[in-house]
Amino acid sequence: MELKSFSKLPNFFGLFMKNKECVELLFSLMSGAPDVEDDKKDKKIDWDKEEQKAVKYNYTILGDVFKDENDNEIRAYAYNN
């Protein structure tokens, strides 16, 4: 939900896509990987930790958007949305 709302901000999704781990996590989520049980213990993914990393990435990138954009319009947009 955060990714969806933040991606409306200028440059957010571009910065998001530059991070390899973000892209891999996004495709894993889109493919439904968290919903499928993996019997192989060596490939077992802790989705709670992945979620925590995703939230951290989103807010780090959000901070980068505000650093890159000195326009007050983006701040007003973010506040209103």
2-16 tens-digit pLDDT: 778 888 888 888 888
Residue 39's domain spans which residues?
A: 2-80
Please give the pLDDT value at position 40.
54
25: region left, alpha or beta (phi > 0 left; psi from -120 to 50 alpha): alpha
Tally of structural domains, the chain: 1
Please give the pLDDT value at position 68.
67
Please give the pLDDT value at position 37.
59
Please give the pLDDT value at position 67.
82
Q: Summarize pLDDT for 15-72 with one digit per residue, the tens.
A: 888 888 888 888 887 787 776 655 555 567 788 888 888 889 889 988 888 886 677 7
Please give the pLDDT value at position 80.
82
Asked if 44 and 9 count as a contact pair (C-beta separation under 8 A), the reply is no
